[in-house]
Amino acid sequence: MTEALRGMDRSVLIIDDDQWIAMSTAMVLEAEGFTVHSALSGPDGIEKARVLQPGVILLDIMMPGMDGWETLERLKADRQCSAIPVIVFTAREHREGPGKATELGAVEYFRKPFRPDALVQTIRRHLDAASAVAG
Amino acid sequence: MVERIVIVDDEEGILALLRRVLRAPGREIEVYPTAAIALAAMRRVRPDLVITDLNMPGMTGYDFIHAVREQFGPRIGVVVITAFPTMVSDADAVENGVGAYLRKPFTDLDLLRSTVSEVIEASRRLPDEEMPERYRRHLAAADTAARRQRAGLSRADAVLDRISDAILIADRQGRLLQVNPAAARLLGVDGEECLGRPLRELGVDAQLRKAILDPAPPDDAEHRKVGRRVVLEASGRTCDVTTALLVNADGGAAGIFAVIEDVSAEVRVQELKHHYLTVLAHELRTPITSLTNFAAVFEKLGFAPMTARQQQMVTGVRRQVQRLEHQVDKLILLARLERGDFGARSFPFEVGPAVEQALATCQADALERGIAFTIETPAGGAPIVASGDADDFRRALFEVGENAVKFTHNGGSVRVTVETDARDVFVRVVDTGIGIEMRDQATIFSTFKQLEDPLTRRHAGAGLGLGLARRMLEAVGGRIDVTSAPARGSTFTLRVPRASRPACGTPPAAAASIAASTAGTGRGKPEEVTA
């Protein structure tokens, strides 16, 4: 899958073990015209990212088993997924969170609860940036 | 010539201490728990000195001295151990054949040693003669007084023995003079073996030793009262050490009195509380996130054209969820405050959008109450970038904005301006509200004052917010000030340092409480958007 093809994609992959968050966030994004896929675990998320090649990944940190940090590391180490912008979002106060997110290659760090419109804007911005690079 | 000393005391600890302290070359020391046994032994070998307690079961100290004088004459030195130094004057003591009184608890071991040597010397110089009648009377009177005070002393000892706090007395050289059973347990020493020995030699935890022997400087009033908190290396237990200097009659330092309280359980509870608060916040935020999302979708799409009333309900849901969210935020801030956890995250951030995000809710509230709420940011030019925790800045400004709206009458106005100088960014919140009395202006930022006394504080609603705001700003090198006149309104000025480097990643606009938009990596930087 090339940058150009993926860059045109307006789809978002949500990786979050909380299905209510996943569902409600999907509804917000779908209302804005995005195509949304969900994964309820890190490994499932990585698998779907490889196959679906979303324009942006929304990644939760606190997940049982493989947590968001590890998932992020694996995504960035995976040749098929490393170019997909990852937005980290977490409900937990992490003092080192924003710094760690940046270090591991995330493009944004959101704290839950977030303003839905702010999330939408941020996703758009990263999709546009990707299209600009691709185009 | 060998010096012989006999010591009689029913407290084994005292015997052990004296034996250790007085040990010297050319000196033989024998210790006995009762006067009767000591007397029997003395008939075999005559000592140069007897040291005796007064309060002993069976034959008392005075009976013992009496017998010594009767049987051995005046040339045996006598030293009395007493907890009641006011009972007999030293002059009386010497005149009546008691060489010296040693006061319990012992605070000066060197003095103890020199006293013993002096009494031995003095008694050797005395001629052999009968014990005077006056001395007999003196002993009898003192004995009665001692018996009367005995009950009081044993009560004090019982308290010391049973109290759960560790209590000890050390001399200026750090040698233990007295320990209660709790102290012996805590220090990991034998309650009797340890007496007279330095803390260092007993393998007492270095931090604990320091806390006992180097009390906080006297000018530090707060520390003197609170003492010092120490975590023991071996056991991991947390102890609060409170010390007091023991002072001699002449005002000199005689030793140190220390109370050591094991607060491990309290510390653990604090940690659990913090942990619980953090988990609780997470648990609350997760459903709030979904609720916010659902409300947003509902508000945007609805299912059919909504009636005004339906629209009102959906908006109500969204606003109430927002309120809940602010309360959760406050919980988290409190937990952070408790840990002194402000200022840890400092990144450059763009001030304009942050101001708008922070005040979005206040603006909506103001609108509902007919208060004109305006935000003026400098038009054109490069974005103003400040350095700090963007989240905390937004939160601080939100508290100030909320406060301004709360204390402004319907129909009044709140005006927010953003200005800069070479070093700092100034955000001013000017309201036409009720204002603040001069005497209250200094205290509205003191978090704990307001926490302590919620019933009597004058600004009922202001509560914690402004205090938190100040802490958050000061943690990143900023500050917050107020000028105000009653009935004329208040001006709050928030100052944050300008950033030396530009903000990376444009903070999303119109979001009141999203997280710090952190430095982006490669993709998504604003310059790439425009490239």
How does pLDDT run along chain B (531 residues), one tens digit per residue? 788 999 999 888 888 889 888 998 989 999 998 888 898 888 888 898 999 988 787 788 878 888 888 788 777 888 888 776 555 555 455 555 677 777 777 777 888 888 888 888 877 776 555 545 555 555 566 666 666 666 566 677 778 888 888 998 888 778 888 888 888 888 888 877 788 888 888 888 888 888 888 765 554 444 444 478 888 888 888 888 888 887 766 667 777 888 998 888 888 888 888 788 778 877 888 889 899 888 888 877 766 777 888 888 888 888 888 878 877 877 777 777 767 667 666 778 889 888 988 898 888 889 888 999 999 988 777 888 998 888 888 888 998 998 899 888 888 999 999 999 889 999 999 999 888 888 778 778 875 444 444 444 444 444 567 887 888 888 878 899 999 888 888 999 999 999 876 655 444 333 333 333 333 333 333 333 232
Cβ distance B289 to A91 less than 8 Å, yes or no, reads yes
- Residues of A in Cβ contact (< 8 Å) with B301: 31
According to DSSP, residue B175 is labeled: B
Residue B161 lies in a domain: no
Q: What local confidence, expressed as pLDDT, does residue B282 receive? A: 79
The answer to whether A98 faces chain B, any CB pair under 8 Å, is yes
- Residues of A in Cβ contact (< 8 Å) with B519: 102
- Answer yes or no: do B398 and B507 share one domain: yes
Chain A residue with minimum CA distance to B531: A132
> CA torsion, points B249, B251, B256, B259, in degrees to nearest 10?
80
Residue B98 lies in a domain: yes
- Answer yes or no: do B358 and B494 share one domain: yes
- Answer yes or no: do B20 and B34 share one domain: yes
Based on the structure, what is the number of domains in chain B? Answer: 4
Cβ distance B292 to A115 less than 8 Å, yes or no, reads yes
Distance CA B215, CA B197 (A): 20
Residue B272 lies in a domain: yes
Domain's final residue, options B212, B235, B262: B262
CA B506 from centroid of its chain's CA atoms: 43
Distance CA B524, CA B304 (A): 37
CA B453 from centroid of its chain's CA atoms: 21
- Answer yes or no: do B446 and B383 share one domain: yes
Chain B residue with minimum CA distance to A124: B524
Domain's final residue, options B131, B156, B181: B156
- Answer yes or no: do B335 and B372 share one domain: no
- Answer yes or no: do B113 and B27 share one domain: yes
Closest residue by Cα to residue B430 from B494, B348, B350: B494
Do B242 and B215 meet the contact criterion of CB atoms below 8 Å apart?
A: no
Q: Give the end-to-end CA distance of chain B in Å, rounded to a whole number.
A: 103
CA B427 from centroid of its chain's CA atoms: 37
Distance CA B103, CA B294 (A): 80
Q: Locate B143 and state its tokens.
A: 């004995």
The full 3-state SS of B327-361, as one line of letters, equals HHHHHHHHHHHHHCCCCCCCEEEEHHHHHHHHHHH
Cβ distance A110 to B285 less than 8 Å, yes or no, reads no
Range of the domain at B283: 264-341
User: Could you count the other beta carbons within 10 Å of the beta carbon of residue B26?
Assistant: 7
Residue B126 lies in a domain: yes
- Answer yes or no: do B449 and B522 share one domain: yes
Contacting residues for B475 by C-beta, under 8 A, at least 6 apart: B342, B343, B389, B392
Q: Which of B325, B391, B508 sits opposite A113 (nearest CB)?
A: B325
Predicted TM-score (pTM) of this structure: 0.52
- Answer yes or no: do B144 and B190 share one domain: no
Residue B292 lies in a domain: yes
- Answer yes or no: do B30 and B79 share one domain: yes
Q: What is the CATH number of the domain that holds B279?
A: 1.10.287
Domain's final residue, options B262, B286, B309: B262
Q: What is the CATH number of the domain that holds B179?
A: 3.30.450.20
- Answer yes or no: do B223 and B311 share one domain: no
What is the amino acid identity at position B467?
G
Closest residue by Cα to residue B296 from B328, B323, B322: B322
Contacting residues for B222 by C-beta, under 8 A, at least 6 apart: none
Q: What is the CATH number of the domain that holds B75?
A: 3.40.50.2300
CA angle B9, B15, B18 (to 5 degrees): 120
- Answer yes or no: do B375 and B464 share one domain: yes
Q: Which of B514, B528, B529 sits opposite A114 (nearest CB)?
A: B514
- Answer yes or no: do B149 and B181 share one domain: no
Closest residue by Cα to residue A87 from B350, B521, B292: B521
